[in-house]
């Protein structure tokens, strides 16, 4: 999609498009995103928010995603079958041990083989 494109649900952005076709394409793209194309995840999920009432602006953004997909048809995320590609997850938390403000720290890390793919660490208050 275009950088900084502002999509909205208003009908002022052009004539309505075929809802059924828009939903069918979005559904297919969502399946593709899950299977092999995480690079499309943001754009497709953003467009899926407008699947109940798409307009011409949404259709143009969808066409741009489709052109990108056609131009990068050889790209995919593929994981081989070796033992090096196992998924590992690590989680830890420290519940309110800071004596000054009773804050907790928690975090997680996920890896595929030796490559870290996701992590977070957060500090917050303990709920009562």
Residue with tokens 């900084």: 4
- The rounded mean pLDDT for the chain is 77
What are 119's strand-pairing partners? 109
Of 7-11, 37-41, 100-104, least confident by mean pLDDT is: 7-11
- Whether the pLDDT of residue 128 is over 50: the answer is no
Write down the pLDDT at residue 5.
67
| Pairwise pLDDT comparison (116 vs 127), residue with the higher score | 116
Which range (7-11, 19-23, 123-127) has the least confidence?
A: 123-127
DSSP for 36-99, please give it: T-GGGHHHHHHHHTTTTS-BHHHHHHHHHHHHHHHHTTT------SSGGG-EEEEEEEE-S--T
Q: Given this model, what pLDDT does residue 92 score?
A: 84
Res 18: pLDDT: 82
- The pLDDT score that the predictor gives to residue 97 is 64
Q: For residue range 77-91, list pLDDT tens digits in order.
A: 665 656 667 888 888
Q: Give pLDDT, residue 94.
A: 77
Q: Measure CA of the first residue to CA of the last residue in the chain; give whole Å.
A: 44
Confidence at residue 103, expressed as pLDDT on a 0 to 100 scale: 73
């Amino acid at each position: 999609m275009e950088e900084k494109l502002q999509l909205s649900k208003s009908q002022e952005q052009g004539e309505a498009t075929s809802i059924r076709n828009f939903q069918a394409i979005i559904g297919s793209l969502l399946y593709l995103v899950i299977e092999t194309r995480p690079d499309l995840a943001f754009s497709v999920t953003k467009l899926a928010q407008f699947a109940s009432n798409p307009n011409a602006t949404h259709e143009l953004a969808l066409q741009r995603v489709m052109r990108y997909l056609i131009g990068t048809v050889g790209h995919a995320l593929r994981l081989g079958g070796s033992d090096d590609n196992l998924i590992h997850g690590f989680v830890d938390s420290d519940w309110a041990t800071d004596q000054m403000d009773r804050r907790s720290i928690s975090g997680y890390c996920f890896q595929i083989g030796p490559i870290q793919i996701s992590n977070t660490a957060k500090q917050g208050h303990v709920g009562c």
